[in-house]
Amino acid sequence: MKISIVGATGYAGAELLRLLASHQVAEVKYITSESQPGTAIADIYPHLTRFYPQTLTSLVDLEKLAAESDVIFIGLPHGHAMEVGRKATAINPTIKIIDLGADYRFKNHAVYEEWYKVPHTHREAKTVYGLTELNRSQVREAGIVGNPGCYTTASILALAPLVKNKLVDLTTIIIDAKSGVTGAGRGLNLGSHFSEVFESVKAYNVGGHRHTPEIEEVLGGLAGEELTINFTPHLIPMPRGILSTCYANLKAGVTPEMIDEAYTSQYGNEYFVRLLGRGGYPVTKNTRSSNFCDLGWHIDKRTKRVIAISAIDNLVKGAAGQAIQNMNVMFNIDEKTGLDNAPVYP
């Protein structure tokens, strides 16, 4: 299984490299970067010393890269991945594409274009939304996977059983999410400057974060009807981790046991979803560096609301880990391959 990574110098790319270093089947072939071609991986990410002797190459070699790879992970900014996807599938029609960005996430291209402000140039692509636990069988057959966003993974996993089983009023969904700073990437800006972020918390992009329509499309698909949500992201002074606190009004007649049953039947056999049960409190640190999503839910009898809470590592289950999970599914090998490490705690 030959793998190439296109755009590997961001944190998600580095995390792919970290995880693939322990993957028993995968062999990393090409690693590209347009900003630093010719540089050794270990010069950019010294923690990877001993694992990658390779040097970054430029994408000008796409012909060769696509011909010699079984699967490409794409870690480019949105708008660029679909170009690579279009060309690579033309060169090698059996190649598998897993895009960690937004280009292949939306069924509705108009929504993509509205929120991302670029035209979609690969509309004919047959794509699958790679939230593995929800779409495993389609992922298995997919040629191109749009790997979900970090916030969306945490939020959808928490809400899917409620929405799918029609247990909540769809007009009342509010998602209040808290993310570590790696979600903002390795690019320099004052908002990620150490002394500015440390001992501080803030909300951002209220009502306007691009993960909003992604959550809406997927939950809407599960519900069988369109829905509109509130999604509020917050920046937490830590590098890794997302906690998603999700609120919804219970429909009349819905009992706590029905909620429990919805979670258990959805995730009871899922290795990477650890159910903490009703009253359980996920803690981001318990998932750190792992592909687990920890899930707990609460019923507030006074307000007749359910509060579902999920925790993930945004760089693993929220990006690189789920991408590898999808790859494992696509190649019909054990889904846990390369991902079965215990979280690093504390």
Nearest approach, Cβ of residue 91 and its own copies (Å): 31
324 binds its own copies (CB under 8 A): no
Residues 189-228 that bind its own copies (CB under 8 A): 189-190, 192-204, 206-207, 228
> Sign of torsion, CA 328 332 335 339?
negative
Query: Within 13 Å of residue 31, how many CA atoms lie on the same side as its CB?
Result: 24
Please report how close the Cβ of residue 32 comes to its own copies at its closest, in angstroms. 20
Catalytic residue, chosen from 150, 197, 219, 327, is: 150
CB closer to its own copies, 85 vs 338: 338
How wide is the angle at C-alpha 100 spanned by C-alphas 65 and 316, nearest 5°? 115
Instruction: Give the x-and-dash track for 37-56 against its own copies (CB under 8 A).
Output: --------xxxxxxx-----
| Residue 283 CB contacts under 8 Å (≥ 6 apart), including other chains | 294, 311
Q: Which amino acid is at 332?
A: N
Q: Choose, by CB under 8 A, the member of 16, 17, 159, 215 that binds its own copies.
A: 17
Tell me whether residue 119 or residue 279 sits nearer to its own copies (CB atom): 279
Q: Which of residues 106-145 bind its own copies (CB under 8 A)?
A: none
d(C-alpha 334, C-alpha 42), whole Å: 29
Query: Using CB under 8 A, which of 70, 99, 133, 176 touches its own copies?
Result: 176
User: What is the torsion angle, in degrees rounded to the nearest 10, for the CA atoms of residue 231, residue 232, residue 233 and residue 236?
Assistant: -140
Positions in 49-108 near its own copies (CB under 8 A): 49-51
By the rule CB under 8 A, 346 interacts with its own copies:
yes
How far apart are CB 340 and its own copies at their closest, in Å?
7
Alpha-carbon distance values, 107 to 129, 207, 216, 235, 335 (Å): 9, 21, 12, 29, 25
| Single residue of 232, 256, 258, 331 touching its own copies by CB under 8 A | 232
Which one of residues 5, 14, 62, 168 is an interface residue with its own copies (CB under 8 A)? 14
The reply to whether 150 belongs to the active site is: yes
Cα 329 to Cα 133, 195, 254, 324, 326, distances in angstroms:
11, 42, 35, 9, 5
178 binds its own copies (CB under 8 A): yes
**By CB under 8 A, residue 331 contacts its own copies:** no
> Is residue 201 within 8 Å of 234, Cβ to Cβ?
yes
Gap between the Cα atoms of 185 and 215, Å rounded: 21
- Distance, CA of 240 to CA of 236 (rounded, Å): 9
Q: How many binding residues for its own copies (CB under 8 A)? A: 85
Q: Which of residues 259-288 bind its own copies (CB under 8 A)?
A: 271, 274, 276, 281-288
Minimum CB separation of residue 208 from its own copies in Å reads 9
| Residues designated catalytic | 150
